[in-house]
Amino acid sequence: MSQHAPLIDPFARAISYLRVSVTDRCDFRCVYCMAENMTFLPKADLLTLEELDRLCSAFVGLGVEKLRITGGEPLVRKGIMTFFAAMKRHLDSGALKELTLTTNGSQLGKYAQELAACGVRRINVSLDTLDPDKFAAITRWGRLPQVLDGIAAAKAAGMRVKINAVALRGFNEDEQFSLTEWCAREGHDLTWIEVMPMGDLGNEDRLDQYWSLRDLRARYAARYSLSDLAERTGGPARYVRIEQTGQKIGFITPLTHNFCESCNRVRLTCTGELYMCLGQEDMADLRAPLRASPDDAALVAAIRAAIARKPKGHDFDYTRQTVAGQMTRHMSHTGG
């Protein structure tokens, strides 16, 4: 096999999308993502920005065309803009089709112009509510005006913004339409995400928080004319267009719709662990071969061996009154 042959998993899916967590740290403590008093990794355990560059470049050389930078909150990583600037060379060469990130928006006021200069054309911003008090409660540490200012800065810099909202029963059910209409006015697409059984967060009960997107979609259908869109990104979202506003609404439903058959992605943590599936514990250590040699042969071999173990799908299930397939790691560990 050529060293540069594309990555194909055992189910004939080409792996073209890498999500990279560059830090486990965040300036928020969202209740469904982190415990309030998180123990973060020692900084020495993290891959350096140079190592992240080398790893991502290896994946790009193996056919990865989309790179999404995540965290924690990626923009709190010291020096992170040097990494984005370095990745721009792969956009310039044409090898990388998209460089993007998922962010809580808190640092966009500072970095939006630089991100746009590095070739970032669209971003995902996590935002579950437009109520300042509710926002402070669910993020524990967050301030809504700072996030809204950041989103405005991203828009001003020419980036398209997609809002990701976690659907939480008893929390933002009453904001479904106000959030939708705000996104329509601002020109943002909106994707709703079912809460996932990740991490042992103490008092939060995932079964109580769970709001099925079937119900949420039915509410849309009762109010608007919806058109199903054939668009697929190889990932979990299913899309509709609201005819009255023209906006695109996505639904990520890992629990009511298993989306694994078209999965084209893998996830790399900030310590060099490669997770082939978000809903499985199996992972491969890429930090050891990365640090063992300045040559990439062992690293590429380790990546190929990992992809050969990519499973067909995950096991999340809320259909019974218990949470099956629950993951013990926090969402911040793998970056969503």
Tell whether the model's pLDDT for residue 257 goes beyond 70.
no
- The tokens for 242 are 């609201």
For the chain, report the end-to-end CA distance as a whole number of angstroms: 32
Question: Of the CATH numbers 3.20.20.70, 1.20.58.220, 3.50.50.60, 3.30.43.10, which one belongs to the domain with range 17-334?
Answer: 3.20.20.70
Instruction: Retrieve residue 27's tokens.
Output: 């300036």
- State whether residue 102 is helix, strand or coil: strand
Q: What confidence tens digit (pLDDT) does each residue in 264-276 have?
A: 899 999 999 999 9
Evaluate if residue 91 carries a pLDDT over 90.
yes
Among 120-124, 282-286, 320-324, whose mean pLDDT is lowest? 320-324
Give the model's pLDDT for residue 335: 57
Average pLDDT of span 37-49? 90
Where does the pLDDT of residue 206 fall: very low under 50, low under 70, confident under 90, or very high at 90 and above?
low
- Counted residue by residue, the chain has a size of 336
The SS3 call for residue 45 is: helix
Considering only residues 66 and 312, tell me which one the structure prediction assigns the higher pLDDT.
66
Strands across the sheet containing 248-252: 226-229, 237-242, 248-252, 189-194, 160-167, 122-126, 98-103, 66-70, 17-21, 265-268, 273-275, 283-285
Q: What is the pLDDT of residue 323?
A: 41
- State the pLDDT confidence band at 34, using cuts at 50, 70 and 90: confident
DSSP type of residue 74:
G
234 CB-near residues (< 8 Å, 6+ apart)? 16, 17, 262, 263, 264, 265
φ/ψ of 174, rounded to 5, equals: -75, -5
Segment 252-271 mean pLDDT: 79
The pTM of this model reads 0.89
CA-based nearest residue to 242, from 250, 254, 252:
250
* Confidence (pLDDT) at 311: 87
Q: Which amino acid is at 249?
A: I
In the predicted structure, residue 324 carries a pLDDT above the cut 50: no
pLDDT-derived band of residue 38, with 50, 70 and 90 as boundaries?
Answer: confident
Concatenated DSSP letters for 116-155?
HHTT--EEEEE---S-HHHHHHHHSS--HHHHHHHHHHHH
Please give the pLDDT value at position 319: 42
- Please report which confidence band the pLDDT of residue 236 belongs to, taking 50, 70 and 90 as the band edges: confident
- For 243-281, b/e burial (b = at least 16 CB within 10 A) is eeeebbbbbbbbbbebbbeebbbbbbbbbbbbbbbbbbe
Residue pair 165/191 in contact (Cβ under 8 Å)? The answer is: yes
Beta bridge partners, 18, equal 67, 266
What is the per-residue pLDDT across 157-193, written as a single tens digit (0 to 9) for each? 999 999 999 999 999 999 999 999 999 999 999 999 9
**Paired tokens of 4:** 């540069």
**C-alpha–C-alpha distance, residues 153 and 157, integer Å:** 6
Q: Which secondary structure element, helix H or strand E, spans residue 249, and what is its range?
A: strand 248-252
* CA 262 – CA 139 distance, rounded (Å): 32
Confidence of residue 43 (pLDDT cuts 50, 70, 90): confident
314 or 242: whose pLDDT is higher?
A: 242
At residue 127, φ and ψ (nearest 5 deg) are: -155, 115
Measured from the Cβ of residue 203, the count of other Cβ atoms closer than 10 Å reads 7
In three-state secondary structure terms, 274 is strand
Q: Which of 334, 295, 317 is nearest to 3 (CA)?
A: 295
Q: Which is higher by pLDDT, 256 or 20? A: 20
Residue with tokens 């939708």: 180
Q: Which band of pLDDT confidence, cut at 50, 70 and 90, is reported for residue 201?
A: very low
